[in-house]
């Protein structure tokens, strides 16, 4: 099997880091981008604030000049929980900027190489909250936009040999999730109560789905949004 070079945003922790570990274990080259330090990262790591369009653009320009990136995981995310009446428009813009604008910027950077190779794999990390969750208007709107990007890009790039898919995790034991929903909190109980399997997923379980879409074998799968959520998108957990 050919080895590929994958760029992952938000790669220092959580789903991004778990995906990086699994890809590196398969022998691929992994490039990680995130704003914090990442000890023992399994590949090339670039510390950059992905909310800063200029800094991100500079980092991307340097990376695409040095590496033939033919896989992209748009994983970086930001949540600003608030009920509708309390949403600050500045927060809405900030959430959209990191979840959507960063994905577009990264896609534009790697697209010329993918088109030249007539090969590419793109995975956008969306979320179960697109189905509707209280106090998540900004985040859900941004992730819905990312799902829409997925289908649009899939249609636009299919003839170039580039697949574009989304993974929508349910409650996952990431730092971001635990920051907003500490174990034992009402939010934590609400989210786990939505999941028929009755638990939160470790990031590694989400990464398996991401790696499937990134594989050569997934060459005929594009424009899809896969829920990896313990059954939460199917229906409510049954009473016990």
Given a cut of 70, whether residue 240 has pLDDT beyond it is no
User: Is residue 183 situated within a structural domain?
Assistant: no
- Contact present, 30 and 23 (Cβ < 8 Å): yes
- Contact present, 223 and 154 (Cβ < 8 Å): yes
Q: What is the mean pLDDT of residues 209-225?
A: 98
User: Is residue 188 situated within a structural domain?
Assistant: no
- Contact present, 125 and 149 (Cβ < 8 Å): no
Give the CATH number of the domain where residue 150 resides: 3.40.50.720
The span from the CA of 106 to the CA of 30, in Å, is 15
Q: Provide the pLDDT confidence category of residue 221 given band limits of 50, 70 and 90.
A: very high
209: domain range?
5-174+202-228
139: annotated active-site residue: yes
pLDDT tens per residue across span 181-208 = 888 898 888 888 889 998 899 999 999 9
Given a cut of 70, whether residue 106 has pLDDT beyond it is yes
Give the pLDDT score at 134: 78
pLDDT tens per residue across span 3-24 = 999 999 999 999 999 999 999 9
User: Is residue 166 situated within a structural domain?
Assistant: yes
Give the E-state strand segments of 63-161 in sequence order. 71-74, 120-125
Give the pLDDT score at 82: 85
User: Is residue 212 situated within a structural domain?
Assistant: yes
Q: Based on the structure, what is the number of domains in the chain? A: 1
Query: Which of left, alpha, beta for 223 (phi over 0: left; psi -120 to 50: alpha)?
Result: left
The one catalytic residue in 139, 188, 191, 227 is: 139
pTM: 0.94
The span from the CA of 16 to the CA of 175, in Å, is 12
Q: Which of 210, 176, 223, 201 is nearest to 22 (CA)?
A: 210
The span from the CA of 31 to the CA of 164, in Å, is 19
Q: Which two tokens stand for residue 178?
A: 């635990």
């Amino acid at each position: 099997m050919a080895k590929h070079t994958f760029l992952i945003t938000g790669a220092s922790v959580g789903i991004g880091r778990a995906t990086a570990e699994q890809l590196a274990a398969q022998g691929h080259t992994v490039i990680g981008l995130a704003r914090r330090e990442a000890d023992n990262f399994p590949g090339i790591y670039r510390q950059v604030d992905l909310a800063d369009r200029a800094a991100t653009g500079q980092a991307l320009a340097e990376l695409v000049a040095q590496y033939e990136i033919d896989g992209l995981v748009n994983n970086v995310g930001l949540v600003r929980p608030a009920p509708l009446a309390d949403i600050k428009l500045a927060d809405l813009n900030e959430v959209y900027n990191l979840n959507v604008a960063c994905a577009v910027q990264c896609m534009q950077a790697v697209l010329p190489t993918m088109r030249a190779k007539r090969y590419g794999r793109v995975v956008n990390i969306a979320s179960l909250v697109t189905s509707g969750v209280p106090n998540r208007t900004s985040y859900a709107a941004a992730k819905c936009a990312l799902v829409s990007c997925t289908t649009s890009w899939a249609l636009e790039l299919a003839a170039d040999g580039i697949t574009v898919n989304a993974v929508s995790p349910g409650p996952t034991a990431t730092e971001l999730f635990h920051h907003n929903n500490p174990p034992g909190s009402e939010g934590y109980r609400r989210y786990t109560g939505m999941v028929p399997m009755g638990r939160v997923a470790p990031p590694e379980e989400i990464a398996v789905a991401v790696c499937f879409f990134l594989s050569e074998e997934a060459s005929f799968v594009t424009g899809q949004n896969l829920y990896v959520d313990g059954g939460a998108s199917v229906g409510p957990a049954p009473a016990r």
